[in-house]
Chains A and B, each alone.
Chain A
Amino acid sequence: MRKLILLMAGFFLISNASAQNNQMALIEGGNYTPLYGVGEQSETAVGDFYLDKLPVTYADFQEFVRNHSKWQKSNVTKLFADSRYLSNWENDLKAPANLMDKPVTMVSWFAAKAYCECQGKRLPTVDEWEYAAMASTSKRDSRSDSLYNVSILRSYEQPKTYMKTVGNSEANYWGVQDMHGMVWEWTQDFNSIILTGESRNNGNTDAGLFCAAGAIGAKDMMNYAAFMRFAMRSSLKANFSLTTLGFRCAKDAGPQNQLTFK
């Protein structure tokens, strides 16, 4: 009996992994130091996980709302999405035709979360997102590569990048595309680290963040880009639906998690 379960588990793992090959990339876990980490115990462990190679597009989301009427713009519970939610759609069922292959934006955290759950996935955590996003095309961790950092910072400055077509940028080390320079992305725990509106306050619970800010040196350019992401996340509430904010989904990898999922 036990053997059978293991066998089934093994089988599931294989089939599941191969099913993800097309759209998801396996990110091998490891340790990394988040922006707000200071001191010796600052490293955070990130387990293996799968991450969508591309941000969710308008076409993807259109399919979702067609199957889930409660996420259509006229039906959505006001608590779960502000008035900008899908406001550029022609009607409940029809996304703007010219945006089909663009990253979907103007979706709230609740809607993004529901979308991922309907696919048997979830939103990535901040740590997972940041961990995957520090990879360049050739390295898992490119945060010490000044050119890479500068290019990210540059891409953040460009206006209207949410109008770009997904999948045209070069894939990173893990095979993931468009993490930088297209749209900000929702994360599961976006508000767990609060960068307060007062970004120079260093006397309260966010001390770690601000100490990190104080420690920024000429070589820590990556931190500036990360700061912009953290500042962005901390300005959000879960019902916000912004023009420049989209999402992609993640999924656990690892035997025990696969079983739980099953």
Chain B
Amino acid sequence: MNYKNICPNKGYFYPLLFILALAFTACTQSQSRNTGAKSYTKDYSKTKVFGEMVAELTAPPHVPPPVGNRPAMKLYMEMEITEEEMEMADGVSYLFWTFGGTVPGSFIRARVGDEVEFKIKNHPDNKLPHNIDLHAVTGQGGGAEASFVAPGHEKTFSFKLINPGLYVYHCATAPVGMHIANGMYGLILVEPEGGLPPVDKEFYVMQGDFYTEGRFGEPGLQPFDMQKAYDERPDYVVFNGSVNGLSGENALQAKAGETIRIFFGNGGPNLASSFHVIGEIFDKVYVDGGDQINSNVGTTLVPAGGAAILEFKADVPSNLVLVDHSIFRAFNKGALGILSVTGEENEKIFAGEIMEGIYLPEGSTIQKMPKDGNVVSPPVTMTKSELIDTGKKIYMQACFACHQANGEGVANAFPPLANADYLNADVNRSIDVLLHGLSGEITVNGKKYNSIMPSQQLKDEEVAAVLTYVYNSWGNNGSEVTPEMVNKRRKK
């Protein structure tokens, strides 16, 4: 046909194509090196299975043993759904709906290519029908329809795992939000061929937000509050089903030097998690639980219904703090857990406190507080002895640290106030020092001092009191300083 017309520059075209292809190959190669991706194009739907076994499911924070090098197999697993009252926080309980009796539900571990026969059992005492939607499953509703089961019944369905990764599963029975809000979620890990690289410790942690009639900490059995759930105003944001889910006796344990892998999921129902471990850096994050690996990450975002695999080495002994770095959730709603790392200190990595010093910002004006022009303090008239009494208290708070209890000061650093010629020579100068601070070289009782005294944030009465106290102690000249005198100097 008109082939020649369409492609008139045929001579140039082929080399160009070749270069393009080369560039493309190079590009994809480097990409796969960066991400460690090697499996996303492979079709596992036809992977043969060899043999069968009953899969072990574990309660959080534990995970079943790795798949290692085993071939794809036929796996049998069972999960019981319960509706039971459990602890949400100290003195607070909640009617949780669970997969396997825990929140989050039992951890499922399998290998890509595995064929799973899954039995779901709805306890006869339960009031509601339930089901399971596994995000790792390809098929109608992730199995939700096939697993829909009335109380006192069980259902078996099967599926083949054709995508590796870490996935959330959850209940998807109407009202879906309520079933998830009551704790019906968990994680299923589908390991790639050959398994994930070995590490020393693996943990299973999941975040969830809860909506209760009573506010955070209000004791007793707290009913679910549908309105708050709708408004996305949780009272609790917790790891592993309760405020104490990962602290106290539930704290995760590891030894310094161990490599740690956390399978982290977010059940929601509403909030995305800004997951962070205080005192560590993730060496690796399998972003969204998929093939892409990010390195050297501080905080990673995990959406509701999403998951991530986090790896790091616990280099030094410390209490690592797991938080949702949307930080009010951590300190006010419970999203805080502990990974306790014990073992030998490594001062090359973390030396701890080396020294403590007193921090004195330069210049006298830095520490001035903004003036509040509207506040009028009532005039207080104090006798000299009252001034001395009050002044002593102020001295012990404001001056004592440097000038010492008996005004002796600290040699070469802080000048003495006891029997001090510099002090006794000029009352107004003393007032100015308190109001505005003092820096530069001065001579007191024949010794030179070159240091900084910051201005003191004291009221006129307080300056008067503390100076009167000082002038009437330790052999000084007994001057009396009144608030009026201070006020006069302040206005200069």
Contact = CB atoms under 8 A, between A and B. Distances in A.
Interface of A: 84, 150, 153-154, 156-161, 184, 195-201, 213, 218, 221, 224, 227-228, 230-232, 234-237, 240-245
A231 B179 CA distance: 12
Nearest to A154: B223
Interface string B119-160: 000001111110100000000110011111111110000000
Contacts of A235: 129, 148-150, 173
B338 to A, nearest CB: 32
B173 A244 contact: no
Given A159-B85, A242-B152, A244-B151, A231 B126 contact: no
Contact of A231 (B128, B145, B152, B223): B128
A198 B129 contact: no
Contacts of B175: 213, 224, 227-228, 231
A157 B141 CA distance: 26
B178 interface: yes
A150 B127 CA distance: 17
A159 B174 contact: no
Given A156-B127, A159-B125, A200-B141, A243 B152 contact: yes
A244 B126 contact: yes
Contacts of B227: 150, 218, 221
Contact of B176 (A158, A161, A200): A200
24 contacts: A150-B226, A153-B224, A157-B223, A159-B85, A159-B125, A160-B125, A196-B148, A197-B148, A197-B173, A198-B141, A199-B144, A200-B144, A213-B174, A231-B175, A232-B128, A232-B129, A234-B129, A235-B150, A236-B150, A237-B150, A240-B150, A242-B150, A243-B124, A244-B126
B223 to A, nearest CB: 5
B133 to A, nearest CB: 8
A218 B231 contact: yes
Q: Which 10 residue pairs are nearest across A and B when measured between Cβ atoms?
A: A197-B148, A235-B129, A198-B141, A197-B145, A199-B174, A198-B145, A235-B150, A231-B174, A243-B124, A227-B174
B172 interface: yes
A240 B140 CA distance: 25
A213 B178 CA distance: 13
Nearest to A153: B226
Contacts of B226: 150, 153, 221, 224
B141 A201 contact: yes
B83 interface: yes
A156 B226 CA distance: 13
Nearest to B225: A150
A218 B144 contact: no
Given A157-B127, A159-B127, 13 more contacts: A154-B223, A159-B95, A196-B148, A199-B172, A200-B141, A218-B231, A224-B175, A228-B128, A232-B150, A235-B150, A242-B150, A242-B151, A244-B125
B84 interface: yes
Contacts of B173: 197, 199, 231, 235
Nearest to B230: A218
Nearest to B129: A235
A157 to B, nearest CB: 6
A237 B148 CA distance: 12
Contacts of B153: 240
Given A221-B226, A232-B129, A244-B127, A198 B140 contact: yes
Given A218-B231, A243-B125, A197 B147 contact: yes
A230 B124 contact: no
What DSSP secondary structure best describes chain B's contact surface? loop
A35 to B, nearest CB: 10
Point out which of B128, B141, B224 has the most chain A C-beta atoms below 10 A from its C-beta. B128
B174 A228 contact: yes
A208 to B, nearest CB: 13
Contacts of B85: 159
Given A150-B226, A153-B226, A243 B151 contact: yes
A198 B25 CA distance: 43
A157 B175 CA distance: 13
Contacts of A161: 127
A243 B152 CA distance: 7
Contacts of B178: 224, 228
Contacts of B224: 153, 157
Nearest to B153: A240
Nearest to A237: B150
Interface string B77-100: 000000111000000000100000
Interface string B252-286: 00000000000000000000000000000000000
Given A159-B83, A213-B174, A197 B128 contact: no
Nearest to B141: A198
A79 to B, nearest CB: 17
A153 B229 CA distance: 14
A85 to B, nearest CB: 11
Contacts of A157: 95, 127, 223-224
B151 to A, nearest CB: 5
B172 to A, nearest CB: 6
A159 B98 CA distance: 14
B144 A197 contact: yes
B428 to A, nearest CB: 68
A104 B439 CA distance: 90
A146 to B, nearest CB: 8
B141 A197 contact: yes
Nearest to A161: B127
Nearest to B84: A159
A178 to B, nearest CB: 15
Nearest to A157: B95
Contacts of A196: 145, 148
Nearest to A210: B174
Nearest to B171: A199
B137 to A, nearest CB: 12
Contacts of A201: 140-141, 145
Contacts of B95: 157-159
A230 B13 CA distance: 65
Nearest to B148: A197
B284 to A, nearest CB: 34
Contacts of B126: 244
Nearest to B229: A224
A240 B231 CA distance: 37
Contacts of A150: 226-227
A218 B131 CA distance: 25
Contacts of B151: 242-245
